[in-house]
Structure 1
């Protein structure tokens, strides 16, 4: 019984110390995607480019490593990123080969880093006859 009391006392003391420790300042960076936009049409197999505006970038970005994925019908294809391992801080664009996907006019780009940011919907055209 004494062991249980001491264990509980230790856990409460530890939680009290942990809860009172100050959190480091974190600045979440959500860059505005400037391309693609609603007037964009990409063609499968060509080179696509995503660009973003970093004029409101905070000083302390917590995660500058970017990932770009394709989104359709509200679902992100995180298993097949279009681009990854680039810096959202050192550049304002990334290019990649546009994958063979069904032709649709409701695709979006998601730019992950600190947070996911969606582009407007745009079109990807492919040869769907195959």
Structure 2
């Protein structure tokens, strides 16, 4: 009998928490995922040069959850956190200058973080 009372108490406590959770209003959050337009497939960057990373801000929502941007190099389809190319810029700027890192000649991409991560198309970096 004690087990049944304990089980019933737990059930009612769980139902009370569920009712409380359902009564809390959900705030709308706008997540902005601007497409990266440069670099794109066919682009060639040279190590040590300065280049612009460009993204499309034309469909930006009025309220963005996180407007601070950061860009990393993508190596072998994985984000390489050792290659931070830019940070502390406003995602609504639409572009930022970066210095092309000294890496082996090969195929790379970049990822733009703000509200979420958005990858560029693959492009080439040529070692100096």
Task: Give the TM-score range, shorter chain.
Answer: 0.7 to 0.9
Instruction: List runs of 5+ in structure 1 lacking aligned partners.
Output: none
User: Following TM superposition, by how much is the alpha carbon of 1:79 offset from its aligned partner in structure 2, in angstroms?
Assistant: 3.7
Match of 2:97 in 1: 95
**What is the distance in 1 between the residues matched to 2:63 and 2:126?**
39
Match of 1:81 in 2: 84
SS of 1:114's partner is coil
Match of 1:112 in 2: 113
Match of 2:123 in 1: 122
Instruction: List runs of 5+ in structure 2 lacking aligned partners.
Output: none
User: Following TM superposition, by how much is the alpha carbon of 1:8 offset from its aligned partner in structure 2, in angstroms?
Assistant: 7.6
RMSD: 2.0
Q: Render the CA deviation track for 1:48-94: whole Å, top value 9, x for unaligned.
A: 210011111111111111110111211001243111111102x1101
**What is the distance in 2 between the residues matched to 1:39 and 1:80?**
21
**What is the distance in 2 between the residues matched to 1:101 and 1:31?**
27
Alignment of 1:28-67 (within 5 A): 28-67=31-70
Q: Which runs of 4+ in 1 moved over 3 A?
A: 5-12
* TM-score, length basis structure 1: 0.83
More helix by share: 2
User: Following TM superposition, by how much is the alpha carbon of 1:108 offset from its aligned partner in structure 2, in angstroms?
Assistant: 0.6
SS of 1:57's partner is coil
SS of 1:78's partner is strand
User: Which protein is bigger by CA-based radius of gyration?
Assistant: 2
**What is the distance in 1 between the residues matched to 2:83 and 2:18?**
41
Match of 1:26 in 2: 29
SS of 1:81's partner is strand
